[in-house]
Structure 1
Amino acid sequence: MKHSQTRRDFIQKAALAAGALPFISTEMAGANPAAAMPPLMVFSKHLQFLDYTEMAEKAAEIGFDGVDLTVRPNGHVLPERVEEDLPKAVQAIKKAGLQPLMITTAVENATGVDERVLRTAAAQGVGYYRMNWYKYKETQQMADTLREYQQQVKSLSELNRTLNLTGCYQNHAGKLVGASTWEIWQLLQTAQSSHMGVQYDIRHATVEGGLSWENGLRLLHQNIKILAIKDFVWAQEKGKWVVKNVPLGEGMVDFGRYFRLLKQYGVQVPISMHYEYDLGGAEHGSKTPKIDKKVVYEAMKRDLVKVKELWTNA
């Protein structure tokens, strides 16, 4: 991507890339402070109290460029109904003037319902999907478990290649496979790199990485296909230290340093905006949040403005 291109050009390229090859290379060298703001998607988990049409219209009204649509159990689209319902959701998103850039799924294998989800997504012009997280098996050595999952990821990447899809494994704090960036690096070693990579989540990377998150970013930056954005602080609750999610820019994530490094590495891929702090249940995907919907929309707009400010100033 040329450094001089406009934001409109960038979003148009993103649209063209949906259902095609990844639209941005992450191998460019040199810092680029003027890098265009990447396309910003709303994670539809936080709008699951709205139907497809209302969700898409509200996302456009708030100012998003696209939607990261939940296609998983308890999501906007149920996997077993993907052939019937995903086309309806995609139509609503397009009608609102947005791009169906990505879906978030429970995909783990290249067979069965998982394969149906991916084939339907590809047919609808979706470009990216986030897969499910793997779990370590209590009865197996961790290294053996990783090698087994590595083969599943390889098979998925080969299916992705035939469908012109790009899969993403999200780094996630905790005990799941992929809390450590080195685990994800291992998972991707035999995969088709053009069609399988990382949804890099700086919140989770900071929770797990502490002072070393920059090493994890350095390790995986060429594999990043999507960015997930949110913030957190460590807080004491009932005498224990816990991770507490907070609005963007109010927490411990060093977005200035993070965005400067992304620009330096040339990582300029779509961003999925996550809202995990208290929003009356909308943060967890509730279909009946306990607060006024306007509060949810205001939070989304506030973080959207903030991420643009942080990106521009980095």
Structure 2
Amino acid sequence: MQNNPSRRDFIQKAALTAGALPFLSFSDTSASSVAALPPIIVFSKHLQFLDYQEMAEKAKEIGFDGIDLTVRPGGHVLPERVKTDLPKAVEAIKKAGLQPLMMTTAVEDAQGTDEVVLRTAAEQGIKYYRMNWYKYNENESMPASLEKFQKQVAALSQLNSKLGLIGCYQNHAGKLIGASVWELYQLLQKANTEYMGLQYDIRHATVEGGMSWENGLRLLHSYIKVLAIKDFVWAQEKGKYVVKNVPLGEGMVDFTIYFQLLKKYGVQVPISMHYEYDLGGAEHGSKTPSVDKQVIYDAMKRDLKKVKELWTQA
């Protein structure tokens, strides 16, 4: 089920994928160890106010190892323009000395535009993608909806195996399918899990799992292909408690136990850094954020430094 290479293996495979392009340095390329710091990439949603070249150069300057590129409606690359624009984005990322390791998409099945997006990504050497979330159909039973989407995930996994891609479904707090760990488990039961798994988001897992998130991680750890990292607190607003996103390490996520468990389970996969707290709209993918760009860059540097510290100390 698991596709969790060591950092060194990951780098070597990515270098082969890139062909003649030298795979530039990660911060830690020591001998393989389950405790080695995984590659850390940035979710380009938060840099959508920059063009491809500026985005890639700034990500490199900040210290990221690669890009999690938005290839979806409103993203850096629009699905209907994927054949022309994705190669341009990938070229800019490589030119900056980074790898286009991952993309975040609206892919839901193995047909139509979704198939074109995946085939184009495979041609460009992208390895991982995050798919869209499924929603329950109000006119059918929940088990029936899950069974239908389970088949779609299985079909995607078969296409992934032909293309050499690894698909990821993200757990997300709320009413979307996948808030519950058992929904995620069910979705993957008919899939080829070498090529289909999870983008595991500890922020959403903690919101939904409360004190039981460790059980959820125990159930799902072998399916994890990518990690999404962010933090939150429960805050009171207008007499109600709401989830408020905060900088990494300032919230309720127990990163010490979380990272210890990831090391225990041997989960060695790329980390996609998300910045969902107030950054003048950049947290939502704004192309015209209301704060100075340097505020956004400083936040990215701070959280990048923090995740490295937390991983090392765990």
TM-score by length of 1: 0.92
Structure 2 alignment gaps of length 5 or more = 20-31
Q: For the Cα contact (< 8 Å) 2:34–2:266, is it kept in 1?
A: no
- The CA distance in 1 between the partners of 2:154 and 2:9, in whole Å, is 33
In structure 2, C-alpha distance between the alignment counterparts of 1:224 and 1:15, rounded to whole Å: 22
8 Å Cα contact 2:6-2:268 kept in structure 1:
no
AA paired with 1:139?
Answer: N
Residue 42 (str. 1) matches residue 35 (str. 2):
no
- The 5-angstrom pairing of residues 81-120 of structure 1 reads 81-120=81-120
Q: Partners of 1:262 and 1:169 in 2: how far apart?
A: 18
How far does residue 36 in structure 1 lie from its aligned partner after superposition? 1.0
Could you say what the CA RMSD is over the residues aligned between the two structures, in angstroms? Answer: 1.7
Q: Which residue of 2 aligns with 1:25?
A: none
SS of the aligned residue for 1:211 comes to coil
Q: Which amino acid aligns with 1:223?
A: Y
What are the Cα deviations for residues 169-205 of structure 1, in whole angstroms up to 9, with x where unaligned?
0000000000011101000000001000000000000
Residue identity opposite 1:237 in structure 2: E
Counterpart of 1:11 in structure 2 is: 11
Say whether 1:265 aligns with 2:278: no
What is the rounded CA distance, in whole Å, between the counterparts of 1:74 and 1:62 in structure 2?
A: 24
Matched ranges for 1:145-294 at <5 A: 145-294=145-294
Question: What displacement does 1:16 show?
Answer: 3.8
What is the letter of the counterpart of residue 109 of structure 1?
D
Checking the alignment, whether the CA contact within 8 Å between 1:15 and 1:101 is kept in structure 2 is no
C-alpha change, 1:126 and 1:34, in structure 2 (3 Å) is closer
Tell me: CA distance 1:183–1:47, structure 2 relative to 1, closer, same or farther (3 Å): same
Runs of 4+ in 1 over 2 A off after TM superposition: 5-19
* Counterpart residue number, 1:301: 301
Aligned to 1:127: 127
Residue aligned with 2:212, SS = helix
Amino acid at match of 1:106: A
Secondary structure, aligned partner of 1:290: coil
Q: Deviation digits for residues 28-80 of structure 1, max 9, x if unmatched?
A: xxxx9871100000000000000000000000000000000000000000000
Report the count of equivalent residues. 298
Q: Distance in 1 between matches of 2:122 and 2:17?
A: 11
Q: CA deviation at 1:158?
A: 0.4
Deviations 1:85-144 (A, max 9, x none): 000000000000001000000000100000000000000000000000000000000001
Contact 1:18–1:127 (8 Å) recurs in 2 = no
- Give structure 1 stretches of 5+ with no counterpart: 20-31
Identical counterparts, % of pairs: 77
Q: Label 1:219 to 1:18 Cα distance change in 2 as closer, same or farther (>3 A).
A: farther
One-letter amino acid matched to 1:11: I
Letter in 1 for 2:218: R
